[in-house]
Amino acid sequence: MRRNIDVHQFESFLKKDHMILTPGKRLAREIVEAWTTHRQTTQPVAFRILVEPVDAWLERAWINAVEDGRLPLQRLLSTEQQAALWDDIIRKDVSRNNSFSLTQPRATAIRAKAAWDKLSMYGGSEISDLWRHFQFEEDCVVFARWARKFQDQMQKINGATRYQAYEQLLSLPAESTPIALYEFPELPPITRTALEHLSELAVITPKITSHDDRVPIVRRFATREDELAAAAVWAHSMSALPDKRSAIVLLDLERDRAQLEYFLRAQFDCLDAQYNDLPVNFSTGMPLGMTPMFRDAMIALQWELRPLSRSDWLALMRSPFFPGLLSNPSPNALEVVERLFRSGITEISMDQTLHLLTRYASDTPLKAILIALLSDKSHRGKKTLSAWGQWIRSRLQIWRWPCRASLDSIEYQQLDRFDVSLDALGALSAVLPIQTHEAALTLWRQSLSNIAFQPKTPHDSIRVMGPLEAIGLEFEGMWICGAQQGVFPRAPRLDAFLPASIQKRFDFQELNGPRLLAHSQKLLEIWCAGSTETVVSYHELDRGLPRQPSGLIAGFEGTIETGWFPPSRWLALRQVEEMAVDERVPMAAQQSTGGSGLIRDQASCGFKAFIKHRIKVTLLGSEAFGFTAIERGLLLHEMMFYLWHGLSSQAALLDIAETVLLERIERAAMTALNKLEADAERSGFSLRARVGESCWQLEQAFCIDVVTAWMNQERDRKIPFTVVSLEEESALNISGLKLTLRPDRIDRLEDGRRIVIDYKSTAPAKSRWLGPRPQEPQLPLYTLLDQKLKGIAFAPLTRDTQFIPLGNDLGLTQTPEKSLSQQTKGWAEDWDKLVAKWASALEELARAFLAGVASIDPSPSACQHCDLQPVCRIEQIRRTQRSSAENEAFE
């Protein structure tokens, strides 16, 4: 098998024990490995290997000089410490100046640090009238203010950046240590100068191949997804060849990595159970904070800062690393979840959760954990970041994190990095003094995202890397993705934080088109030299926008390739399993199963009734803003109940004065709102807090208006009436199905007839009472309870007060009522026949429910407000039906 490195390039230096310096860590590691293997086979005696990245060697030289007293004592700040300092300066500056707000202060801090580093590596920070150049553009003015604060802070903490340290090395006497430098890409000017000052430099140049010797294969794709999917297929086929190593180089690593990883997982079948078995080595690894174990730990810690969103709360409750409610769910735990979600709250606090746990699931470990967390106030005040590190450790111990009994090997590797992350947090104490709880958690999250987690994978796995990491390595095959115009080479660009005059004066590489082109050209030649077969690809469309190929490959021909979906492995494995259709699943025994909603659901869709009333699936309530439709309906129902409970007849209503009635209505509104709030309190949340005071007042005023209008309407009814029943419960046995019914109100007219009234927030049309599948069967069901019932009516509780009645001469409307035959559009000529038809239709529906008829056959508007579409897949059924119909029409 070939080694990753051609050691002969380095052999003469290594044999003489000369130090070899590389641009990055990866190449240094590969040289050490290759040379160790080579020497063990040829000369199994102990030997020294001196290979290091350039920056590590120079930093060590600086530290040695400081320790020897040749340079003044200073603290060399790490990249993370510098970024944290910039971040702190920028946040404080923005809040103090109040001039603009940054959506991503961290990203701005990283850009500011990069700009300052660039200035330093070109020696720009040393020019005498530096800040004079920054006064002409707004971004530069702001950056100059931040940079001066950065300099002040650095002085205060006696700190030095990497490039300041290199500058200081030039003050030491020159040395002539023999050193071999692998020189690509070009080093920053200050790095090169410092290196030359301290050593006798020999240069190792990378092997290059001109296109005449080894021509890359160019592949052209329709879209970015097509391109990445094809690279994954290629990697999979290469991995099947014995002893072959291949690499995918992503020219835009940051953007394409996640999508490529998905395609690779799909190709290697590592999306689910074998998630950790992907034989691919990603050079950048995964930020530790994105791993499920640390992501959930962060959610748990943040819960003490503020309530969690519903999705975060659910993620924590389901996390295998925490003893949440749903890691091993009991019916009581599910009750807590259901109640929290039914409350409509958008964010869930620790107090709310504890309140419900105490009431419904007091034996869960989560309750004891929440009590321990809430009673401990150690998160208050400010502490050093090292102290916050200890606090994080103790908090996670209270949470028993990571409580999973058997962590797999990848999870163990991740857990091993926990101490590293706390050390990284503690190291920030050098630049940031005492911090608050919130700031400490933000900094820990940043530390977690700075730590790349790279699971240990087989040595010769497929590699995915950025453009510079592939330099000097050798592969059987290399695929370079994303060779687009503007990316390879990069388009020249100015740094917005630095004045153009300075960037031009120092000839920054990012501004120099010919140098960028030469750099990319050389990169391509180096890649071709290191690989037996090199594929370079590009795409023509990205999110609907046309993209051009890089000028470096535009001359090569390539055929267009499209269509990664569906993946070929799906087609290969496609199998259809025949299943017998379950026509129906009868109920084992007759039992009381619900109220009128059961028959309504059976009428609108058998499947819906089966799922809701037989399987009894509970749907989690959605987030609510203001009052929900159900809460508004309950309020008005409650007010009407309270008022008619006191009045009991039209005569009594006509007898009381307007002002007294208004007082009663206002009292009814207050009582109804208080009851709703008390019910919410019992469920563990404050309705008043959720809807807000203004919304509360508005709803109260609206309810008073609506009910006042309705009382005037009741006064005007032509036939005097007495209210004989208010929300009284009755049992009905219909074809063996026992239902519990609760009519809103039953009135007795002065001639002894009775009518049943149902309050609605919006009134349906009369037609929904009729037909073999009445869509609103609630009132027809009530007529089966009492033979004296001779009419039904909806009372829509809106400002537009109009009864929707069905019956003969009920006196509910101002206009003369039509005959029953006209009202039912000929479906029934008189009341008795209408009731008989209802009885027959409702009995049929009851029998269908008992027999388990669960066909997906919804009535016209049934699916509109139904949450079961993911279960019944009605859309897929409709699509299939539509395409069959179109095919038939075509034939």
Nearer to ligand SF4, 611 or 711 (CB): 611
Only one of the segments 106-114, 236-244, 483-491, 603-611 lies at the binding site for ligand SF4 (rule: CB under 6 A); that segment is 603-611
Q: What is the b/e burial string over 296-333, where b = at least 16 CB atoms within 10 angstroms of the residue's CB?
A: bbbbbbbbeeebbebebbbbbbebbbbbbbbbebeebb
Compute the least distance from the CB of residue 314 to ligand SF4, in Å.
23
Only one of the segments 133-141, 274-282, 629-637, 866-874 lies at the binding site for ligand SF4 (rule: CB under 6 A); that segment is 866-874
- A 10 A CB-CB count for 152 gives 11
Distance CA(117)–CA(190), nearest Å, equals 11
Compute the least distance from the CB of residue 612 to ligand SF4, in Å.
9
Only one of the segments 216-224, 518-526, 798-806, 861-869 lies at the binding site for ligand SF4 (rule: CB under 6 A); that segment is 861-869
Q: Are 357 and 336 in contact (CB under 8 A)?
A: yes
- Looking at residue 649, the DSSP 8-state letter turns out to be B
Nearer to ligand SF4, 672 or 845 (CB): 845
Compute the least distance from the CB of residue 413 to ligand SF4, in Å.
45
Compute the least distance from the CB of residue 335 to ligand SF4, in Å.
25
Locate all alpha helices (DSSP H) within 43-169, ordered by sequence.
54-67, 79-97, 105-121, 138-156, 162-169
Among 626, 858, 860, 887, binds ligand SF4 (CB under 6 A): 858
Residue with the two structure tokens 């429910």: 849
Only one of the segments 174-182, 253-261, 533-541, 858-866 lies at the binding site for ligand SF4 (rule: CB under 6 A); that segment is 858-866
301 counts as binding ligand SF4 under rule CB under 6 A: no
Nearer to ligand SF4, 839 or 856 (CB): 856
Nearer to ligand SF4, 289 or 774 (CB): 774
Q: Are 791 and 779 in contact (CB under 8 A)?
A: no
Among 819, 869, 880, 881, binds ligand SF4 (CB under 6 A): 869
Which uninterrupted H or E stretch holds 222?
A: strand 217-223
Only one of the segments 245-253, 534-542, 556-564, 600-608 lies at the binding site for ligand SF4 (rule: CB under 6 A); that segment is 600-608
Question: Residue 281: which of 96, 469, 104 has the closest Cα?
Answer: 469
Nearer to ligand SF4, 58 or 599 (CB): 599
Only one of the segments 137-145, 480-488, 756-764, 863-871 lies at the binding site for ligand SF4 (rule: CB under 6 A); that segment is 863-871
Q: Which amino acid is at 644?
A: W
Distance CA(810)–CA(5), nearest Å, equals 96
Strands 347-348 and 308-309: antiparallel
Compute the least distance from the CB of residue 872 to ligand SF4, in Å.
3
**What are the two backbone dihedrals, phi and then psi, of residue 103, each rounded to the nearest 5 degrees?**
-80, -30
853 counts as binding ligand SF4 under rule CB under 6 A: no
Angle at which helix 437-450 crosses helix 292-302, to 10 degrees, equals 170
Only one of the segments 19-27, 48-56, 604-612, 843-851 lies at the binding site for ligand SF4 (rule: CB under 6 A); that segment is 604-612
Compute the least distance from the CB of residue 873 to ligand SF4, in Å.
8
Distance CA(56)–CA(73), nearest Å, equals 19
863 counts as binding ligand SF4 under rule CB under 6 A: yes
Distance CA(85)–CA(78), nearest Å, equals 11
Q: How many CA atoms lie within 13 A of 194 on its CB side?
A: 26
549 counts as binding ligand SF4 under rule CB under 6 A: no
Compute the least distance from the CB of residue 609 to ligand SF4, in Å.
9
Q: Are 817 and 805 in contact (CB under 8 A)?
A: yes
Only one of the segments 153-161, 273-281, 424-432, 855-863 lies at the binding site for ligand SF4 (rule: CB under 6 A); that segment is 855-863
Nearer to ligand SF4, 374 or 619 (CB): 619
856 counts as binding ligand SF4 under rule CB under 6 A: yes
Compute the least distance from the CB of residue 583 to ligand SF4, in Å.
17
- Measured over the CA atoms of residue 29, residue 31, residue 32 and residue 36, the dihedral's sign is positive
**Chain center to CA of 488:** 32
Compute the least distance from the CB of residue 664 to ligand SF4, in Å.
42
Judged by phi (left if over 0) then psi (alpha if -120 to 50, else beta), residue 404 lies in beta
119 counts as binding ligand SF4 under rule CB under 6 A: no
Nearer to ligand SF4, 571 or 581 (CB): 581
Residue with the two structure tokens 């409970």: 645
Nearer to ligand SF4, 691 or 866 (CB): 866
Q: Are 217 and 535 in contact (CB under 8 A)?
A: yes
Strands 75-76 and 177-182: unpaired
872 counts as binding ligand SF4 under rule CB under 6 A: yes
Nearer to ligand SF4, 324 or 858 (CB): 858
Helix (H, G, I), strand (E, B) or coil at 482: coil
Q: Are 191 and 32 in contact (CB under 8 A)?
A: no
Nearer to ligand SF4, 272 or 582 (CB): 582
Q: Are 462 and 248 in contact (CB under 8 A)?
A: yes
Radius of gyration of the chain (CA): 38
866 counts as binding ligand SF4 under rule CB under 6 A: yes
Compute the least distance from the CB of residue 877 to ligand SF4, in Å.
8
Compute the least distance from the CB of residue 615 to ligand SF4, in Å.
12
Among 146, 607, 794, 849, binds ligand SF4 (CB under 6 A): 607
**One symbol per residue from 381 to 420: x for binding ligand SF4 (CB under 6 A), - otherwise; what is it?**
----------------------------------------
Residues in 608-627 at the binding interface with ligand SF4, rule: CB under 6 A: 608
Nearer to ligand SF4, 228 or 863 (CB): 863
Number of helical (H) and strand (E) elements in the chain, helices listed first: 34, 26
Distance CA(831)–CA(341), nearest Å, equals 44
Helix (H, G, I), strand (E, B) or coil at 790: strand
- For the CA atoms of 823, 824, 828, 833, the dihedral, rounded to the nearest 10 degrees, stands at -80
Residue with the two structure tokens 């009382």: 711
Compute the least distance from the CB of residue 860 to ligand SF4, in Å.
10
Residue with the two structure tokens 């959605």: 622
**Chain center to CA of 731:** 48
Among 142, 169, 385, 874, binds ligand SF4 (CB under 6 A): 874
854 counts as binding ligand SF4 under rule CB under 6 A: no
How many residues make contact with ligand SF4 (CB under 6 A)? 12
The two three-digit tokens of residue 473, written as one number: 């390595």
Question: Residue 311: which of 354, 275, 346 has the closest Cα?
Answer: 346
**What are the two backbone dihedrals, phi and then psi, of residue 558, each rounded to the nearest 5 degrees?**
-150, 145
Compute the least distance from the CB of residue 866 to ligand SF4, in Å.
3
Only one of the segments 164-172, 416-424, 566-574, 854-862 lies at the binding site for ligand SF4 (rule: CB under 6 A); that segment is 854-862
Nearer to ligand SF4, 605 or 703 (CB): 605
Angle at which helix 385-398 crosses helix 418-427, to 10 degrees, equals 150
**One symbol per residue from 810 to 849: x for binding ligand SF4 (CB under 6 A), - otherwise; what is it?**
----------------------------------------
Question: Residue 483: which of 186, 215, 262, 221 has the closest Cα?
Answer: 221
Nearer to ligand SF4, 289 or 858 (CB): 858
868 counts as binding ligand SF4 under rule CB under 6 A: yes
Compute the least distance from the CB of residue 862 to ligand SF4, in Å.
4
Only one of the segments 20-28, 259-267, 601-609, 614-622 lies at the binding site for ligand SF4 (rule: CB under 6 A); that segment is 601-609
Residues 6+ apart with CB under 8 A from 577: none
Nearer to ligand SF4, 689 or 877 (CB): 877
Among 325, 605, 647, 842, binds ligand SF4 (CB under 6 A): 605
Query: What is the binding site for ligand SF4 (CB under 6 A)?
Result: 605, 607-608, 856, 858, 862-863, 866, 868-869, 872, 874
